[in-house]
Amino acid sequence: MKAGAEPGINSDVTRQQPETVLPVRAAALVGALILVLAMAACTTTVSRPVFKELSFERLPRIEFNVARVELVEAFQSPLREPNIEYTFPTPPALAFKRWVHDRLRAEGGSGAVRVTIRDASVLRIPLAANTDIEGLITTEQGERLDATLSVLSDIMDAHGVASGSYASAESQRSRTIPEDLTLNERDLIYQEITEALINDINATLEQNIRQYLRKHLR
């Protein structure tokens, strides 16, 4: 025993400091919170805007002296670029089918009016980027959308043979859009294109039906 040391106490033993547990636990909690927030951000979905369904019921019916109305979808989307009509909130073909449902009526005893969707495409055409200084500081038009809606109405006799009487209509719209649009802004433009196409067809096809198919109307 060393001089001056109290009996029963080992003065050579170094006292240990208590562990700092609280900062370690706090760091772990912060890390877990960051992980949860990151996972939540990854799973967040952007809801698409809901547009009012296009309707033409307010307009007068076009009544044919035939037994039925037949719709033929000759156009089939390839479901790949450059076609993008299938990504529209309301594809042009769907808008025209609603037009046929709302406006055409069969009020006769035989024969049919056959309505054919010949083209209902929207093509996405990328535009060349401006690489000079002005292009770096301005928002450019990134692509052009070329839209077409082409339809044909013709009269079939009781045996399903075309009578030779027909009326057609076609609308083409082209629009450039900026490169930095959000998904919702794109949907709004897509809907505006569809509405422009179907409004053109509504006016032109009705006029041509009343002019070229008037003897088949009631």
- Which band of pLDDT confidence, cut at 50, 70 and 90, is reported for residue 67? very high
Please tell me the predicted confidence (pLDDT) of residue 22: 44
- Please state, for a pLDDT cut of 70, what percent of the chain lies above it: 74
Q: Provide the 10 A C-beta neighbour count for residue 51.
A: 14
CATH code of 62-216, in short, is: 3.30.160
Going by C-alpha positions, the residue among 196, 199, 194, 174 that lies closest to residue 88 is 194
User: Greater confidence, 49 or 87?
Assistant: 87
Q: Write b or e for each residue in 144-169: b if 16 or more Cβ atoms lie within 10 A of its Cβ, otherwise e.
A: ebebbbbbbbbbbeeeeeeeeebbbb
Please tell me the predicted confidence (pLDDT) of residue 43: 52
Spatial distance between the Cα atoms of 174 and 186, rounded to a whole number of angstroms? 15
What tens digit of pLDDT does each residue of 6-30 get? 444 344 444 455 454 445 555 556 5
User: Greater confidence, 168 or 39?
Assistant: 168
Tell me which H or E stretch contains 124. strand 122-126
Please tell me the predicted confidence (pLDDT) of residue 11: 41
pLDDT value at 4 more than 60:
no
Give the position of tokens 């076009």: 62
- Please state, for a pLDDT cut of 90, what percent of the chain lies above it: 69
What tens digit of pLDDT does each residue of 102-130 get? 999 999 999 999 999 999 999 999 998 76
User: Where are the chain's structural domains?
Assistant: 62-216
Please tell me the predicted confidence (pLDDT) of residue 181: 92
- Across the chain, mean pLDDT equals 85
Going by C-alpha positions, the residue among 110, 119, 96 that lies closest to residue 155 is 110
What tens digit of pLDDT does each residue of 153-201 get? 999 999 999 999 999 999 999 999 998 899 999 999 999 999 999 999 9
Cα Rg of the chain (Å, integer):
35
Spatial distance between the Cα atoms of 124 and 83, rounded to a whole number of angstroms? 6
Please tell me the predicted confidence (pLDDT) of residue 167: 98
